[in-house]
Structures are given as C-alpha cells and as structure tokens.
Chain A
C-alpha cells in the first residue's frame, strides 16, 4: 500500500497523516471531533457554527475485503460525530456482489454461479439496488450529519474531478446516477439516514469486467416479491471514455476536489490554513484498530443476515411428480418465503388430480417453517416417494 501513500502525498503536497491507530478511537460515548486523528484545527479564527464545516478528511481503505470495508463504514457511521468534520471514505473490493438492505438475493444475483466462482454476495445497510464490485470499481462514502446530507453536492465533487482532471463530461440525473456520453451510467448511489448522522455512498465504474458483472447480476426473475428491485441500466467504464484514467489517479483526483471544495468562498489565507489541517488518512480496517469491527464483520458475513432479511417473496417452479406416484405429471409449486423461512407451499397449477394434490399439501405442511433453499423443490419431489411418516419429517436445518 506504499503506492497509495505516495500518490496521496505527492498529489496533495501536504504532510501525510499517520495511519489511523485504534487508541484514539473509543466507543460511542466520546465525541471524537476534537481528538482529531488528522489533527484538524477545529477552532480556527471565528468559525461561524452555521456555515458548512471546513474540516474534512479523506479516509482511504487499505483492505479489499468487502466485509471489512462495509463493517468499517458502519463503524464510522455509528461511532463518530460529524458535527465538526465531514469525511469521505474511499474503498475498493475484490470481486463481490452487494445488494441493498431490502433486496432479494435470488432476484438480484446468480447465486449458483457466484458460489461456484467463490464470489461473495453481501447485503449492505443502505437502500438501493444490486452492484458488482471488482478492483476496477471505486466506492466513495460521504459522511455528514443528518442535516447536512446532500447527495447532489457530493456527486458534483466527483463530476468536477472527472471534468477538470480527465476531461470527461459527466452529469447527475434525477436518480442520482452519474451519466456520461449517450446516457451511459458510470455510478449508482445509495444512502442511509440516522438520527444524528447520515452517509451517502456511490460506485464508480473505472475498469470493471463488464462480462463478469452481467453474469453475476443475472438473477431469477420468476420470483414475485415486495423487495426493492434494481433498475437495470446501460453501463460503461470511465476508462472507455479516457484511456488515461486509472483507479489510483481517480482516488487522488476526487480526494483533492473533496478537500478543496470545503474552502470555497473563504479568503486565501484562511484557505491555506484549512488545507493544511485537512488531509488523507490510510485506514486499516481491523478489530485491533477499531474495537467492535470484528462483530460487525461477523454479522455481515452471516448466512442469516443475507437470507433472513429478505422481504416476503413467492417463487414458483415446476416439480415433476415421481413416476411411482403419478404418470407423466408436472405440477407448478409456489413457495412463499418470509425472512428466509418457508411460510406457505401452494399448488399453482390447474386440474391436479386430488391424490397428488393431497400428497403435495401434506408434504407442504411439513415443510412450513423450515429454512428456504432452492433445493426445496427437489426435496418435495423426493419426499413424494417416501411413506408416512418419513415424508413429513422436519428437515434438520
């Protein structure tokens, strides 16, 4: 990670702050804005409290682990006060799919493919749709107090960086996507709002593998669901618009623009003073530095967080009845799932012979309350071959 350090140092021409240590960062009881790990001067001159905070910090993650980065984002949101300082957190991940808080992983991602490819699927805390991350994708999270939450302002910083440093004309649309060229999306946005603090994060497609992205995000569309759906869009990589662009260059460009934008409209001498006190910090998101992080990471990577937060949905699949039960018969079965557990199993075909229907309803009853997996349809079919009471045995899950 020395390269990041050098780039940050060189581009901003100011002393680089130390890598964040855990000793200054305590639990939620402490207001940390004055202990300043970046040593910000919080009472420079006569700072009018109603003006925007001029103290800003850019945190760059040294990890590409999606769980660590998401956990750190959550940690910062819960444990810091942004009254006196805004923070932008910049992070990248090795390949993964991230879905919104209220989405359905089966609908949004090709879970089978991703499992076989060893690509994790993760549910985040903010709303919005599903995204594919890899090292060619950059994530930026803007932390502010709830009152200062302003997505357009944050996205403008990015657009300015793209325009001034790379000559790319980008604009923000009504959905807070960043669009370039003929309506190609390069960035999507999501946010989380709490009582005191809020964060807005967005992706940036720099040089992502679009083929992998397409394969990864091909979910099962035969699902009826109340979950928030992703809105598909035509995407392109920033690298296609300007071959000169790279993730590292973009990090220093956006970082610089973010820090500079805090000092608009002040006189030159004060400007310099603020710029000296704002800066970059490299973050190592581990439990040693940030106590409590491991717990958040464990929750984010748990089976239950991914599957049992899914809103109610109904998945319908055809099941072939075993020959010993009925000849040449296929029945559509609709399984209703709530928070990961089977709520109801219904027959969704017409004209099913009563014996088969009874059998299916009997087994369906036994399956209620069990943890849903796509294997349930085969399980149902297999159980039809078994005699009582074996076919109604509760599965051990």
Chain B
C-alpha cells in the first residue's frame, strides 16, 4: 500500500474506532462497507472541495452548513452518517417552511431509530434534495456533496459566525472521542 493510501486507511480506522467506542456496535458488514468507501469520499473531499471546505461551518450535533449568497446548504457530517448506520429514510422539511436555529425540522431513519434533524441556522427552506428522498443511501455515501439535505435562505446571517469552522470541529471530534 502506498504511503498516502495507508494514511487514509489509518484515518479511516481512527474514525471507526472512535465511533465504535461511543455508540451502538455497527454490524461487521457495515464496517467493511465504510472502510472501502471512506478513502474514496476523502479523495473527492480533497480534490474539488478546497473552497467549499473554507465555507463549511459545523454544529456540535454534527451538521454542516455552507453559505453562498445568503443561501445555506445543510447536511450531516461524516461522523453523523457513520454513527447512524445505513440510512433508510430521510424525512426532509417542506419548501417554504421557516425554522429557528436548533428547531427540529425533520428526521433520518436508520436501523429502526428515527433521529431528529435540527436546523443549524434560522431561515426559510428554499429547496430540498429530492434525490435523497428517493435514495437515502446517498447520505451515507456522499454526505458533503450529493447527500446534501436542504437549502434555506438565512434570516439571521450572524448565526453562522457562532458555528465551528473545520479545525474547531475536528478538535471537537477528538475531544468527544475520550
């Protein structure tokens, strides 16, 4: 295995190990699924997402929001999709619905558990990702790209500044792994 591929696989193992120590056990088959897919998503993450990375902000509940022209695109982080397991249904908010920051706006169902989705910022929903309604596994496979959940028009743009940036989120993940 080449040096960079080894590094990626090690990162993948660390992430998995961290998740495993905190949460209900993932099935053995799921472990395999994630290990083979993770290097691929990381690769895509690095190649095209240089500017996207800079714009993405994170919440403590493992959601991300990327703002452009006051429209925020929202999704869940890799940590979240891993801990949920295979997502079988995405219950997304309705277009034109308005939410306050941290208000419940939908749910993701996986392994018989319906996990609530919270809006990381206040706003009005402008679009939902219908691809994910038809194929919820997109969220597991590509949580930062094709697995985006919904877009909203920010009503309180200052809220973005309160959220964590990439480095702060990585630090937050490390600290919670204890």
Interface size range of chain B in the complex: 20 to 34
Indicate if the CB atoms of B114 and A192 lie closer than 8 Å. yes
Residues of B within 8 A of A127 (CB): 88-89, 109-110, 112-114
Residues of B within 8 A of A150 (CB): 24
Residues of B within 8 A of A (CB): 24-25, 27, 61, 88-89, 91, 102, 104, 107, 109-110, 112-116, 118, 133-134
Apart from A191-B113, A228-B109: 16 A-B pairs, beta carbons within 8 A? A100-B109, A100-B114, A101-B107, A102-B91, A127-B110, A127-B114, A152-B24, A152-B25, A174-B27, A189-B112, A190-B112, A191-B112, A192-B116, A193-B116, A226-B133, A312-B133
Closest to B134 in A: A226
23 CB-based A-B contacts, threshold 8 Å: A100-B112, A100-B114, A101-B107, A101-B109, A102-B89, A126-B112, A126-B113, A127-B88, A127-B109, A127-B113, A150-B24, A151-B24, A152-B25, A176-B112, A189-B112, A190-B113, A191-B112, A192-B116, A194-B104, A195-B102, A226-B134, A227-B89, A311-B133
Given A228-B89, A311-B89, CB of A191 within 8 Å of CB of B134: no
Residues of B within 8 A of A228 (CB): 88-89, 109
Indicate if the CB atoms of B109 and A102 lie closer than 8 Å. yes
Given A174-B27, A226-B133, A228-B88, CB of A193 within 8 Å of CB of B115: yes
Q: Looking at chain B's contact residues, is the secondary structure mostly helix, strand, loop, or mixed?
A: strand
Indicate if the CB atoms of B27 and A102 lie closer than 8 Å. no
A129 to B112, CA, bound (A): 8
A166 to B157, CA, bound (A): 60
Indicate if the CB atoms of B113 and A193 lie closer than 8 Å. yes
Closest to A339 in B: B94
In the complex, how many residues of chain A place their beta carbon closer than 8 angstroms to a beta carbon of chain B? 28
A200 to B111, CA, bound (A): 12
Closest to A189 in B: B112
A126 to B112, CA, bound (A): 8
Q: Does A128 interact with chain B (Cβ within 8 Å)?
A: yes
Given A226-B89, A311-B89, CB of A193 within 8 Å of CB of B114: yes
